[in-house]
């Protein structure tokens, strides 16, 4: 099933890598984020998909999550799914 959604996956180079793969397989555009630029580069090379966008971000930082959301929205005009694959007890940011 090809869905064409816009999906953000945090922790994409670790726990979220399988989510990234599955969303890409479904035809979704994926904005993958992780704290490690090197890990994101490896993920991008392995996925080799025109639907994948990578962006380094610290999701415990409210400004970084706002910038990530803006980046994803710029790519397709919307965000359909936000998958948090990296847990943090430090962030209390809510999305509206």
CATH code: domain of residue 17: 3.40.50.720
The span from the CA of 36 to the CA of 41, in Å, is: 9
In a domain, residue 17? The reply is yes
**Burial zone of 96 (CB within 10 Å; 0-12 exposed, 13-18 middle, 19+ buried):** exposed
Say if 92 falls within a structural domain. no
pLDDT band for position 48 (50/70/90)? very high
Q: Has residue 91 been placed in a domain?
A: no
Is there a domain that residue 90 lies in? no
Q: Where are the beta strands (DSSP E) in 11-94?
A: 29-34, 52-56, 81-84
> Is 44 within the bounds of a domain?
yes
Question: Torsion-angle region of residue 55: left (phi > 0), alpha (psi -120 to 50) or beta?
Answer: beta
Domain membership of residue 12 (yes or no) is: yes
Write down the pLDDT at residue 85.
Answer: 82
Higher pLDDT, 26 or 92: 26
- Measured N-to-C along each axis, helices 17-25 and 37-47 cross at an angle, to the nearest 10 degrees, of 30
Number of structural domains found in the chain: 1
Taking the CA atoms of the chain, what radius of gyration do you get in angstroms?
12
Does residue 46 sit within a domain?
A: yes
- Residue ranges making up the domain that contains 55: 6-84
Q: Identify the bridge partners of residue 83 per DSSP, sorted by sequence position.
A: 9
Give the pLDDT band of residue 13 (cuts 50, 70, 90).
confident
């Amino acid at each position: 099933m090809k869905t064409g959604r816009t999906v953000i996956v945090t922790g994409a180079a670790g726990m979220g890598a399988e989510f990234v793969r599955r969303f890409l397989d479904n035809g979704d555009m994926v904005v993958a984020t992780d704290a490690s630029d090197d890990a994101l580069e490896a993920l991008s090379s392995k996925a080799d998909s025109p639907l994948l966008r990578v962006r380094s971000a610290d999701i415990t930082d409210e400004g970084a999550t706002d910038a990530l959301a803006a980046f994803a929205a710029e790519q397709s005009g919307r965000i359909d799914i936000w998958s948090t694959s990296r847990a943090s007890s430090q962030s209390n940011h809510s999305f509206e």
